[in-house]
């Protein structure tokens, strides 16, 4: 009887996956990108670097709960008197789930609990639920708060149906909550998955897996769309690029532009550009992202744009790179905020303490 029930469940999950895939391919089109406009000059890039650089490494701020749990992918927002961090954790290499932590000073963090768990009712995201905040205030000197849409807070997440560390294929889903600071399960969007590697409009760089995404609300609709998503995708191991998608309702997403907007390592077709975060400094959009493969190690850097589409890459000193025992293997996956005149650069550090979350600052914060 148990074997029969499991077989029925597997068949239902398979049918659900097929229906979702079929529905996600209906009338899919790529939005043509706007023509290239003004690029960001070298002096402006250097000024941005001076503004956002964080040469003082404070150290590890979030660790796993045990020897077999690793944490990753911080994203930060403010609510009232507290800062909150969405982060993900993987135990025994099964798969990622999403958690929430809280802080009064951005340096000392209290874990609150899980907010996005494995979902065995869906085949496509049964074993991966790697989430990060959406619709954050992207203004560099802004409130750092989250914006609601349709009375809900939102997150985007990487979903996957296989166990393991980011096992292919992965796709992007959305979830929502009426309370972003309570450690309670968020509700997955019924229309998930919203973007996947097997959709008919998937571009050449994203036909194997889609990774971390960030969604901003461009209130000016400078591209003709209010919601803009950036995410990295890959078509082969070791080569990831960052692309765009747009939406009017946070539910139905269309890819924007026929090509990626950030790519590195073109010569050898080996180089990773990923985990984009968007802020706006004065009239310049800035994308923090991590790199690996085209230079030694894994590190954080940035690019800048005036139109959200055409980006000029910074080729100077990395914002974060390996220098300490706890980040000697990797120092990557940025989330950067400015508060009371201090820049805080959160990142995933891999080294002597496993996979942890660390922070560097623009001035010395250690006693």
Average pLDDT over residues 269-277: 96
> 4-8, 167-171, 236-240, 359-363: lowest mean pLDDT where?
4-8
Average pLDDT over residues 119-136: 96
Q: Which residues pair with 152 in a beta bridge?
A: 149
- Where do the DSSP E strands lie in 104-152? 109-116, 128-133
pLDDT for res 66: 78
Average pLDDT over residues 138-146: 97
Q: Is residue 286 pLDDT above 50, yes or no? A: yes
Question: Coil, helix or strand for 51?
Answer: helix
Whether 157 is covered by a domain: the verdict is: yes
Instruction: Compute CA 297 distance to the chain's CA centroid, rounded to the nearest angstrom.
Output: 20
DSSP codes joined into one string, 38-55: PPPPHHHHHHHHHHH---
pLDDT for res 18: 43
Q: Is residue 235 pLDDT above 80, yes or no? A: yes
Beta-sheet pairing, 312-313 with 298-305: antiparallel
pLDDT for res 24: 47
Tokens for 105, please give them: 């000073």
Q: Dmax over Cα atoms in the chain, in whole Å?
A: 70
What is the number of domains present in the chain? 1
Closest CA to 299 of 241, 240, 239, 348: 348
Bond preceding residue 169 cis, omega within 30 of 0: yes
Whether 39 is covered by a domain: the verdict is: no
pLDDT for res 122: 87
Average pLDDT over residues 339-356: 97
- Contact criterion met (CB below 8 Å) for 134 and 154: yes
Distance in angstroms (rounded) separating the CA atoms of residues 321 and 366: 19
CA triple 72-346-89, angle to 5 deg = 15
pLDDT for res 26: 58
Q: What DSSP state is assigned to residue 30?
A: P
Average pLDDT over residues 124-146: 97
Percent of the chain with pLDDT over 90: 89
Beta-sheet pairing, 271-281 with 239-247: parallel
pLDDT for res 17: 44
- Contact criterion met (CB below 8 Å) for 112 and 62: no
Question: What residues make up the domain containing 103?
Answer: 2-26+48-361
pLDDT for res 25: 52
Please tell me which residue, 14 or 209, carries the higher pLDDT value.
Answer: 209
pLDDT in tens, 27-78: 799 999 999 889 999 999 999 999 999 999 999 999 998 779 999 999 999 9
Residue 79 is part of a domain; what is its CATH number? 2.115.10.20
Whether 207 is covered by a domain: the verdict is: yes
- Contact criterion met (CB below 8 Å) for 273 and 241: yes
Please tell me which residue, 268 or 107, carries the higher pLDDT value.
Answer: 107
Whether 290 is covered by a domain: the verdict is: yes
Tokens for 231, please give them: 């995410």
Please tell me which residue, 5 or 316, carries the higher pLDDT value.
Answer: 316
Distance in angstroms (rounded) separating the CA atoms of residues 197 and 220: 30
Residues 6+ apart with CB under 8 A from 314: 45, 48, 49, 301, 302, 303, 304
HSE-up (13 A, CA, CB side) for residue 18: 6
Q: Is residue 241 pLDDT above 60, yes or no? A: yes
pLDDT for res 8: 36
Whether 41 is covered by a domain: the verdict is: no
Whether 32 is covered by a domain: the verdict is: no
pLDDT for res 351: 97
Whether 11 is covered by a domain: the verdict is: yes
Say what the pTM is: 0.93
Whether 121 is covered by a domain: the verdict is: yes
Distance in angstroms (rounded) separating the CA atoms of residues 58 and 61: 9
Bond preceding residue 195 cis, omega within 30 of 0: no
Please tell me which residue, 282 or 26, carries the higher pLDDT value.
Answer: 282
Tokens for 136, please give them: 């954050």
Residues 6+ apart with CB under 8 A from 345: 52, 54, 300, 319, 320, 334, 335, 336, 359, 360, 361
pLDDT for res 23: 43
C-alpha distance from residue 128 to each of 165, 245, 306, 328 (Å): 9, 22, 35, 27
Q: Is residue 352 pLDDT above 60, yes or no? A: yes
pLDDT for res 166: 94
Q: What DSSP state is assigned to residue 167?
A: P
pLDDT in tens, 304-338: 999 999 999 999 999 999 999 999 999 999 999 99
């Amino acid at each position: 009887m148990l074997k029969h029930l499991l077989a029925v469940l597997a068949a239902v999950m398979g049918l659900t996956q097929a229906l979702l895939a079929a529905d996600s391919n209906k009338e899919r089109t790529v939005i043509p990108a706007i023509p290239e406009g003004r690029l960001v000059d070298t002096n402006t890039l250097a000024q941005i670097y001076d503004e956002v650089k964080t040469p003082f490494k404070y150290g590890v701020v979030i660790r796993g709960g045990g020897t077999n749990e690793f944490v990753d992918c911080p994203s930060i927002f403010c609510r009232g008197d507290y800062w909150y961090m969405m982060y993900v954790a993987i135990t025994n290499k099964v798969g990622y789930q999403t958690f929430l932590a809280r802080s009064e000073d951005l340096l000392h963090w209290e874990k609150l609990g899980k907010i996005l768990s494995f979902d065995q009712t869906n085949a496509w995201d049964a074993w991966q639920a790697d989430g990060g905040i959406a619709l954050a205030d992207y203004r560099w000197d802004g409130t750092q708060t989250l914006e609601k849409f349709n009375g809900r807070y939102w997150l985007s997440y990487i979903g996957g149906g296989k166990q393991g560390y980011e096992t292919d294929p992965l796709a992007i889903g959305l979830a929502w909550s009426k309370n972003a600071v309570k450690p309670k399960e968020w509700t997955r969007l019924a229309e998930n998955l919203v973007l996947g590697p097997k959709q008919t409009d998937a571009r050449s760089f994203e036909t194997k897996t889609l990774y971390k995404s960030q969604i901003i609300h461009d209130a000016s609709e400078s591209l003709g769309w209010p919601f803009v998503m950036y995410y990295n995708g890959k078509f082969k191991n070791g080569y990831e690029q960052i692309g765009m998608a747009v939406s009017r309702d946070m539910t139905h997403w269309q890819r924007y532009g026929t090509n990626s907007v950030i790519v590195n390592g073109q010569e050898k077709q080996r180089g990773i550009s990923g985990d984009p975060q968007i802020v706006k400094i004065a009239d310049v959009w800035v994308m923090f992202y991590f790199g690996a493969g085209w230079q030694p190690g894994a590190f954080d850097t940035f690019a800048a744009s005036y139109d959200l589409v055409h980006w000029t890459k910074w080729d100077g000193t990395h914002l974060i790179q390996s220098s300490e025992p706890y980040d000697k293997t990797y120092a990557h996956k940025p989330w950067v905020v400015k508060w009371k005149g201090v820049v805080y650069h959160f990142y995933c550090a891999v080294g002597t303490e496993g996979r942890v979350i660390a922070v560097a600052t623009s001035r010395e914060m250690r006693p």
